[in-house]
Copies of this chain bind each other. A is one copy, B any other.
Amino acid sequence: MSKARTLTGFMELLPQEQLIMNNMMETIRKTYELFGFTPLDTPVLEASEVLLSKSGGETEKQIYAFKKGDTELAMRFDLTVPLAKYVALYNNDLTFPFKRYQIGKVYRGERPQKGRFREFYQCDIDIIDRDELNIIYDAEILAVIYNVFRQLNLSDFTIVINNRKLLSGFMESLNIADKTTEVLRIVDKIRKISEADFVACLEDLQLEKDIISRILAFIRQDGKNAEILQSLKNMNIDNENYHQGLQELETVVDKARKFGLPEENLKIDLSITRGLDYYTGTVYETFFNQHPEFGSVCSGGRYDNLSSVFMDKKFPGVGISIGLTRLFDQLRSCQMIESGALTPSKVLIILQDSAYIDTAISLCADLRKGGVNCDIYHKDGKFKAKMNYANKIKVPYVVIIGEDEVASGRFTLKDMNSGTQQQLSSAELVEFVKK
Q: Is A337 an interface residue (CB 8 A)?
A: no
Q: How far is the CA of A19 from the CA of B95 in the complex (A)?
A: 14
Q: Is A424 an interface residue (CB 8 A)?
A: no
Q: Is A375 an interface residue (CB 8 A)?
A: yes
Asked whether, in the complex, the Cβ of B109 is within 8 Å of the Cβ of A258, the reply is no
Asked whether, in the complex, the Cβ of B258 is within 8 Å of the Cβ of A119, the reply is no
A385 to chain B, nearest CB (A): 13
Count residues on chain A whose CB falls below 8 Å from chain B CBs.
Answer: 98
Asked whether, in the complex, the Cβ of A35 is within 8 Å of the Cβ of B375, the reply is yes
Asked whether, in the complex, the Cβ of A18 is within 8 Å of the Cβ of B40, the reply is yes
Q: Is A326 an interface residue (CB 8 A)?
A: no
Asked whether, in the complex, the Cβ of A147 is within 8 Å of the Cβ of B4, the reply is no
Shortest 5 CB-CB contacts between residues of A and residues of B: A36-B375, A66-B66, A2-B53, A4-B88, A10-B43
Q: What is the oligomeric copy number?
A: 2
Q: How far is the CA of A134 from the CA of B372 in the complex (A)?
A: 23
- Sample (23) of A-B pairs whose CB atoms are under 8 Å apart: A4-B50, A4-B88, A5-B50, A5-B85, A6-B43, A7-B45, A11-B43, A12-B41, A13-B41, A14-B93, A14-B94, A15-B40, A19-B38, A22-B39, A36-B345, A36-B375, A37-B344, A38-B343, A44-B119, A45-B118, A99-B375, A255-B357, A260-B369
Binds B, one of A211-219, A358-366, A410-418: A358-366
Indicate with 1 or 0, residue by residue over A270-312, a CB within 8 angstroms of chain B CB atoms: 0000000000000000000000000000000000000101111
Q: Is A409 an interface residue (CB 8 A)?
A: no
Indicate with 1 or 0, residue by residue over A1-32, a CB within 8 angstroms of chain B CB atoms: 11111110011111100110110000000000
Q: How far is the CA of A37 from the CA of B34 in the complex (A)?
A: 27
A16 to chain B, nearest CB (A): 9
A328 to chain B, nearest CB (A): 11
* CB-defined contacts of A137 to chain B, threshold 8 Å: 378
* CB-defined contacts of A345 to chain B, threshold 8 Å: 36
Supposing A44-B119, A105-B44, A342-B95 touch, asked if A71 and B7 sit within 8 A by C-beta, the answer is yes
Q: How far is the CA of A393 from the CA of B45 in the complex (A)?
A: 30
Q: Is A383 an interface residue (CB 8 A)?
A: no
Asked whether, in the complex, the Cβ of B41 is within 8 Å of the Cβ of A21, the reply is yes
Q: Is A224 an interface residue (CB 8 A)?
A: no
Residues of A within 8 A of B (CB): 1-7, 10-15, 18-19, 21-22, 33-47, 49-50, 53, 64, 66-69, 71, 73, 75, 84-86, 88-90, 93-95, 97-100, 105, 107, 109, 118-119, 134, 136-137, 143, 147, 255, 258-260, 307, 309-312, 342-345, 357-358, 361-362, 364-365, 368-369, 371-376, 378-379, 389, 392-393
Asked whether, in the complex, the Cβ of B99 is within 8 Å of the Cβ of A12, the reply is no
Asked whether, in the complex, the Cβ of B361 is within 8 Å of the Cβ of A119, the reply is no
Asked whether, in the complex, the Cβ of A4 is within 8 Å of the Cβ of B310, the reply is yes
Asked whether, in the complex, the Cβ of A36 is within 8 Å of the Cβ of B373, the reply is yes
Asked whether, in the complex, the Cβ of A89 is within 8 Å of the Cβ of B365, the reply is no
